[in-house]
Amino acid sequence: MSEATTTDLYEVTMALSYLREGMTGPATFSLFVRDLPPDRGFLVAAGLESVLDHLASYRVDTDDVDAFASVLDRPTRDLAPLLGLAFTGEVRAAPEGRVVLPWEPLLEITAPLPQAQLVETYVLNQVSHQTTVASKCARCVLAAAGHPVVDFSLRRTHGTQAGYQAARLGAMVGFAGTSNVAAAHAEGLPAVGTMAHSYIEAFDGEEEAFHAFARSHPGPVTFLVDTYDTENGVATAARVLHSLGLGPGCAVRLDSGDLGALAVRARAVLDAAGLSEVRVVASGGLDEFAVDRLVRSGSPIDVYAVGTRVGVSADAPFLDSAYKLVEYDGRPVMKLSSAKATAPGRKQVFRGPGCADVVGLDGEAPPPGSVPLLETVMRDGRRVSGPDRLPDRLEAARRRFLADLDELPPQARRIASPVAPRAVLSGPLTELAVRVRGRIERELLVG
């Protein structure tokens, strides 16, 4: 089976019905987030690269049709209309790294209706998850206020693919490295890591463990100092570093306890030993809230290693995202459900200074001083040309993020109680919504 089967069942049943009814006209679906999670002042668009890879290779083959038939408990011939279906459409999207706000399309897909419907689940999954994690990582960078942040999340993310994505997304918004070897190798990221408490426990004492580790890794080393008694561990690490003539680039890592107080004591021990250039690394249950508290307290921590809470976005693990039909065969459509109404038509987001955004119709003139946010990234089922190397794509996304971050109002960047800017609807989009609503309500009355 191919990844075409990575979908919800109702996507299959709807697509099959469309094909049988001859409903293959062009359909536009818009993916957006209705409301931000608590303590979020912005989102960072992510997941587009995974979506484009999926759509570029999308094709329903014989094994897929067999799988569809099996789960529906129907003869394979009933699902035959799906055989050979491939994605031939267009994708317009906010490139990865762009800051996005509620109700702004992160992407719009225009393709024959059965195609655009079948890919919904995968597209929502990738964009929602990766945007969630990228936004969490971005807040960690803000909280660290210039101190390096590194990713230690792999062991507790929801699957190894999610761990890879967390490493990549952290790098996209400014993380300094990752412990994830696969991601570091594939994406050209700095690989970072120290040792586990089990390593220390395997030796007769900390000093023996530190000497052994340094013999195997003669470059800058980081010693984990809190296996037994933290202050004693720091003093032991200082003796070993002195005896080996090591210093610049080396570090001690604190992984438990009152990290702020322990960092103060560790810094004092290192400075007294003449090792002011040896850094203090902190890890253990950190996220942007904890990092923010430590930074504001003046704690002498040089590097923050974030893991579980960031890799799963523990405080806000999902987005109120939606993928809604906004136009079919040239006819704008909208949903009128209470609290879930949608805006009709193909759209564009016009970004003004300070992220004063306007959501309008695709093709309308941008307001003065604004620029379009959505770009055409796939046409006729093929990627529009762009950087081919993964590190180059990541670097381009990082530059976009930093530029947008500079435009965000200070209240949106706050860690505690941020206030997100709100996009407004353009006049033409508002007028179209009124017309479409009126048409639907008249049809309901006639019906």
**Domain boundaries in the chain?**
3-133+316-446, 142-311
3-state secondary structure of 191: strand
pLDDT tens profile 54-109: 999 999 999 999 999 999 999 999 999 999 999 999 999 999 999 999 999 999 99
Between CA 29 and CA 352 the distance in angstroms is 25
Q: Which long-range contacts (CB under 8 A, 24 or more apart) does 159-163 make?
A: 162/129, 162/133, 162/311, 162/312, 163/311
- Read off the tokens for 146: 């210039």
- Position 425 scores a pLDDT of 96
Q: Nearest to residue 210, comparing CAs of 268, 157, 250?
A: 250
Q: Is the pLDDT of residue 200 over 80?
A: yes
Categorize the per-residue pLDDT at 173 as very low, low, confident or very high, splitting at 50, 70 and 90: very high
Crossing angle for the helix pair 390-407 and 160-172, nearest 10 degrees? 60
Q: Is the pLDDT of residue 388 over 80?
A: no
- Position 387 scores a pLDDT of 66
Q: Nearest to residue 315, comparing CAs of 289, 341, 292?
A: 289
Between CA 200 and CA 202 the distance in angstroms is 5
Categorize the per-residue pLDDT at 375 as very low, low, confident or very high, splitting at 50, 70 and 90: very high
pLDDT tens profile 104-150: 999 999 999 999 999 999 999 999 999 999 999 999 999 999 999 99
Query: Residue 109 forms beta bridges with which residues?
Result: 29, 91
Q: What mean pLDDT comes out for the span 418-427?
A: 96
395 Cβ contact partners less than 8 Å away, ≥ 6 residues apart: none
Looking at domain 142-311, its CATH superfamily turns out to be Aldolase class I (3.20.20.70)
Mean pLDDT of all residues belonging to the chain = 95
Categorize the per-residue pLDDT at 266 as very low, low, confident or very high, splitting at 50, 70 and 90: very high
Query: Cβ–Cβ contacts within 10 Å for residue 164, how many?
Result: 18
- Read off the tokens for 234: 């720091």
184 backbone dihedrals φ, ψ, rounded to 5°: -60, -45
What pTM was estimated for this model as a whole? 0.95
Alpha helices, DSSP H, located in 145-258: 160-172, 181-187, 197-201, 206-216, 230-244
Report the number of secondary-structure helices (H) and strands (E) in the chain. Answer: 16, 19
Question: What CATH architecture applies to the domain 3-133+316-446?
Answer: Alpha-Beta Barrel (3.20)
Q: Are strands 149-151 and 177-178 parallel, antiparallel or unpaired?
A: parallel
Categorize the per-residue pLDDT at 338 as very low, low, confident or very high, splitting at 50, 70 and 90: confident
pLDDT tens profile 278-293: 999 999 999 999 999 9
Q: Is the pLDDT of residue 390 over 80?
A: no
Measured at the alpha carbon of residue 169, what is the angle toward residues 155 and 174, in degrees to the nearest 5? 110
3-state secondary structure of 107: strand
- Read off the tokens for 173: 């918004």
Measured at the alpha carbon of residue 211, what is the angle toward residues 209 and 213, in degrees to the nearest 5? 70
182 backbone dihedrals φ, ψ, rounded to 5°: -60, -45
Q: Is the pLDDT of residue 431 over 90?
A: yes
3-state secondary structure of 332: strand
- Position 340 scores a pLDDT of 81
Stated as kind and residue range, the H or E segment containing 428 is: helix 427-446
Q: Is the pLDDT of residue 447 over 70?
A: no
- Position 312 scores a pLDDT of 97
pLDDT > 70 in the chain, percent = 99
Q: Are strands 303-306 and 149-151 parallel, antiparallel or unpaired?
A: parallel
- Read off the tokens for 74: 């129907």
